[in-house]
Structure 1
Amino acid sequence: MELYRMQNRTSFGFSAENPTGTKGGGTRGKDCEKLRPYIQIQPGETVTLCDTDGPGMITHIWFTGYIGHSFVLRMYWDGMEKPSVEAPISAFFGCAYDENFADRDGSYPVLNSAMVLVAPGRGFNCYWEMPFRKHCRITMENRGDKAQTLYYMISGWYGELPADSGYFHAAYRQEHPVQKGHAYTVIDGIRGKGCFVGMTLASGMNGHNTCWVEGEAKMYIDGDTYPTMNYTGTEDYFCGSYGFGNDIILNRYQTFSGLYAGLYAILGDTGEMYNHQKRFMLYRWHVKDPIYFNEDFRMKLDNLGWTGPRYDDYTSVAYWYLTEPAALPVELPDDKEMIMK
């Protein structure tokens, strides 16, 4: 973006201190006085965080407070009754193992990418651009059994959109465990014209590790029987190689967090080359290499090790744009089915 170019736009920001997002609608407190820095969401309650007319663009979302899977984030575009974005807040920000606050080094896991930032202390930031022509509504549901706190800021601008602007979509899936001998479905049932722009993955090892990253990522475009995009292995799809360093020289996994890809956190690592019950958190953004489709799109990811098919726990969120807002092709599992430790 060329920041020096003056645009015909008006900025907005929805927060606990300005829940209507209106001009001059923020705190009436005095200097250094907090009146409403957060909200409480009761069990079973859904709170509207942003409700506004377009045209405009969401450019940044920040959350903290309770950031577990019982908070479900939803986004509705242009008056749609069903959401085009639906995912537990933790998985949406690539942090599905939300009950583990320290990585193998005893620090907060930090996802430091161009599109999503998970900062120390669990500050969740999203930089995906989300255009809307007529209307935008963003909600948070508490599916847990006790009240939880949410701090938030949703910001963007009102103004003219390019005619070819698409709508942002995101959907959650999990298999705990993956059915042995069958590929894990990242997303299926996307219809229309658009582009796939990335995914997050949380993988939990069941049984002996034996290099779980042999599985291929496969993308099926516009009616494919066989995949058009066929990556060579799981670590290769997430832009690494050789077991993220575990297969050569060091004989241990090494984390990394880049602009568009990363294995940014390892949990439960005792330092052994192949110990049981490791947990990995990864992401891959197709920002420089979007996957375009005109009719439909689906993606699978094998769960495969050196010794053959595995039965690990896989949890993912897929992200894509469509020419029109659409209901999601998958449904969320029950809250209690999402517990990940």
Structure 2
Amino acid sequence: MKRIAAVLAGLMMMSSPPTQATPFGGIGGSLGDLMRLSDARTRSISPENRTGEKGRGGMTPLAEGSAREAARELGLGWKVNPYVMIEPGETVVLGTIDGPGVIQHIWMTVTGDWRQSILRMRWDGEDAPSVEVPVGDFFAQGWGRYAHIDSLPVSVNPGSGFNSFWPMPFRERAELTLTNTAPERIQVYYQIDYALTAVPGDAAYFHAQFRRVNPLPYKEVFTIVDGIRGRGHYVGTYLAHGANSPGWWGEGEVKFYIDGDDAFPTIAGTGEEDYFLGSYAYLSRHPDGENRATDYTTLYAGYHQIEDPDSDVDQRRFGQYRWHIPDPIRFERDLKVTIQSLGWRGDGPYLPLQDDLAAVAYWYQAEPHRPFPPLPDREDLLIDWTAPLNHLGKLGEIRLEHPPGDRYGTDPRALLDGETGSGDPGDGRWLGVEGDDLVAVVDLQATRAVQEIAVRFLERRDQRILHPAAVDILVSADGKAYESVALAGEPEAGRIRTFRATLPHREIRYVKIAARNAGDHAAQPAWLLADEILIR
């Protein structure tokens, strides 16, 4: 009995409230915290209140408002200045906040190319930004097209409502800017919601960094983030994966190198789709009985974007995210995160891929942090949906055995520029030779794994433009000894025909296309017009 009484007394002491409750600073957003009172002061910055000051919202004079024409009959206070315009090359300060405090929510919608608008955040007067990411990628919209996300820290809603709920503490000052690197001006609506309150001593600072490589060099891994120094924890990954070759692309492992790991990491995953909490190529059975990749968006992980064109040449594009909120990756000194780009060879072994990979890494750490690597040049950030053809030949050099004629395009690079032509031979995307065979040699500049080669030809008999009488596709490792590769069946009928060869993932450097002119070379010479040599 005495033992039972002692246990009950102990339980009562453990469950009793402390004699002096710790004041609640308003930081945190759990459902259980909503009942607690706090001395935190709520503020918000938007174009209608650029400073966030109390009682200063909606005061923009009509003559100065961005929407003054729409509000001209209603006047002051009637949605006079709901957005800002950012000119090409201009950086606009979205907000500066004197601390201490925490940013709790950011909403914005941005026009234009989201890859060319760069979001930066700085804490406590630092020179190097702690966040430097294209705005679309920051909100897991790296392909520049809307994709719904319903997750805990990031929500993206129709038609392009970007929301971040990552808590972002600061002690002295916060500054958020947006830079327009595009040649056209953009329109930005936004709101930054924050609390002015004491920040706990153990609160780390929010960071996000962007990287892109296209294509990934053969047999190299993609670095999601490196150079993190200090103490902190990794909380998320967004990956925009563009498949530059046919077939499955998601076998690569994600690896975390923690606190001095060298050749081998502490954490090694089992595959790309596994890391993003899916499995088996994201396949599920659909109502028609077919197994197909299925998108999903959940609190902590998603395969939320599938841009899988119904085409034999366009790049397939995917978006995936993984938030380490219940399971942050903690580090004391340093952190590096990588992912392999890996598929399957037709005969079973793994195939190192040369894909288009762009990622955002999200983490918290104690300041100071190391400056980030420079962002890619503007040209290397661009996402082109008008000509999304992406292949290994774009990295190569080309030589023609016979010079092109003057009537159509004359630059041999037209055969490797990723631009496909229409049925109009004068659209600027076709290259032609008259009366001769078209013989082109492509040097890929390095040994690469190739599984498909294709070339497209146009026919317009009314203009003496004929399909080739025959096409031979040859490959070589050294540029001297060439081997002919069998065509994969007959080319499809139509004005534009694609001649295609598939390989068992050969490691080659040189590709030769030999197309025989079908015209009478003497009496009635014909044109041969090609628009692209596709090498994947």
TM-score (norm 2): 0.59
1:269 deviation in Å? 3.9
> Is 1:288 equivalent to 2:326 in the alignment?
yes
> Is 1:169 equivalent to 2:207 in the alignment?
yes
Matches within 5 A, 1:2-81: 2-28=33-59, 33-66=78-111, 68-81=114-127
Hey, what does 1:104 align to over in structure 2?
none
Among 249, 253, 276, the residue aligned to 1:216: 253
1:268 deviation in Å? 3.0
Q: Residue 58 of structure 2 contacts residue 76 of structure 2 at CA under 8 Å; is this kept in 1?
A: no
Aligned residue for 2:115, secondary structure, equals coil
1:37 deviation in Å? 0.6
Amino acid at match of 1:35: V
Aligned residue for 1:252, secondary structure, equals strand
Q: Residue 167 of structure 1 contacts residue 325 of structure 1 at CA under 8 Å; is this kept in 2?
A: no
- Paired residues in the alignment total 330
1:276 deviation in Å? 5.8
Among 355, 358, 364, the residue aligned to 1:312: 355
Q: Distance in 1 between matches of 2:181 and 2:142?
A: 16
Q: Distance in 1 between matches of 2:45 and 2:111?
A: 18
Hey, what does 1:105 align to over in structure 2?
none
Q: Distance in 2 between matches of 1:259 and 1:152?
A: 24
Relative to 1, partners in 2 of residues 1:65 and 1:110: Cα closer, same or farther, differing over 3 Å?
A: same
Hey, what does 2:372 align to over in structure 1?
329
Aligned residue for 1:37, secondary structure, equals coil
Q: Residue 227 of structure 2 contacts residue 370 of structure 2 at CA under 8 Å; is this kept in 1?
A: no
TM-score (norm 1): 0.93
Q: Residue 230 of structure 2 contacts residue 369 of structure 2 at CA under 8 Å; is this kept in 1?
A: no
Relative to 1, partners in 2 of residues 1:8 and 1:76: Cα closer, same or farther, differing over 3 Å?
A: same
1:275 deviation in Å? 8.6
Tell me: higher relative CO, structure 1 or 2? Use CA pairs within 8 A at least 6 residues apart.
1
Q: Residue 58 of structure 2 contacts residue 77 of structure 2 at CA under 8 Å; is this kept in 1?
A: no
Q: Distance in 1 between matches of 2:370 and 2:155?
A: 27
1:335 deviation in Å? 1.6
Hey, what does 2:381 align to over in structure 1?
338
Aligned residue for 1:178, secondary structure, equals coil
Q: Which string of whole-angstrom CA distances, capped at 9 and with x for unpartnered residues, describes residues 78-115 of structure 1?
A: 000110100110011110100xx3xxxxxx52011101
Amino acid at match of 1:51: T
Q: Distance in 2 between matches of 1:31 and 1:140?
A: 27
Among 108, 115, 131, the residue aligned to 2:153: 115
> Is 1:96 equivalent to 2:142 in the alignment?
yes
Q: Distance in 2 between matches of 1:21 and 1:138?
A: 13
Q: Show structure 1 runs of 5+ residues with no match.
A: 102-107
Q: Show structure 2 runs of 5+ residues with no match.
A: 1-29, 61-74, 346-350, 386-536
Hey, what does 2:188 align to over in structure 1?
150
Q: Residue 229 of structure 2 contacts residue 370 of structure 2 at CA under 8 Å; is this kept in 1?
A: no
> Is 1:87 equivalent to 2:133 in the alignment?
yes
Among 307, 313, 316, the residue aligned to 1:278: 316
User: Which protein shows a greater Rg?
Assistant: 2
Q: Distance in 1 between matches of 2:226 and 2:381?
A: 20
Q: Residue 105 of structure 2 contacts residue 194 of structure 2 at CA under 8 Å; is this kept in 1?
A: yes
Hey, what does 1:255 align to over in structure 2?
295
Q: Residue 58 of structure 2 contacts residue 78 of structure 2 at CA under 8 Å; is this kept in 1?
A: no
Relative to 1, partners in 2 of residues 1:338 and 1:246: Cα closer, same or farther, differing over 3 Å?
A: farther
Higher helix share: 2
1:328 deviation in Å? 3.5
Hey, what does 2:415 align to over in structure 1?
none
Relative to 1, partners in 2 of residues 1:10 and 1:204: Cα closer, same or farther, differing over 3 Å?
A: same
Aligned residue for 1:282, secondary structure, equals strand
Q: Distance in 1 between matches of 2:207 and 2:127?
A: 14
Q: Distance in 1 between matches of 2:137 and 2:304?
A: 14
Q: Distance in 1 between matches of 2:299 and 2:313?
A: 29
Amino acid at match of 2:249: W
Matches within 5 A, 1:174-253: 174-208=212-246, 210-225=247-262, 226-245=264-283, 250-253=290-293
Q: Distance in 2 between matches of 1:3 and 1:247?
A: 41
Q: Which string of whole-angstrom CA distances, capped at 9 and with x for unpartnered residues, describes residues 106-162 of structure 1?
A: xx5201110101111111100000000111011111111121110000111001111
Aligned residue for 1:337, secondary structure, equals helix
Relative to 1, partners in 2 of residues 1:51 and 1:193: Cα closer, same or farther, differing over 3 Å?
A: same
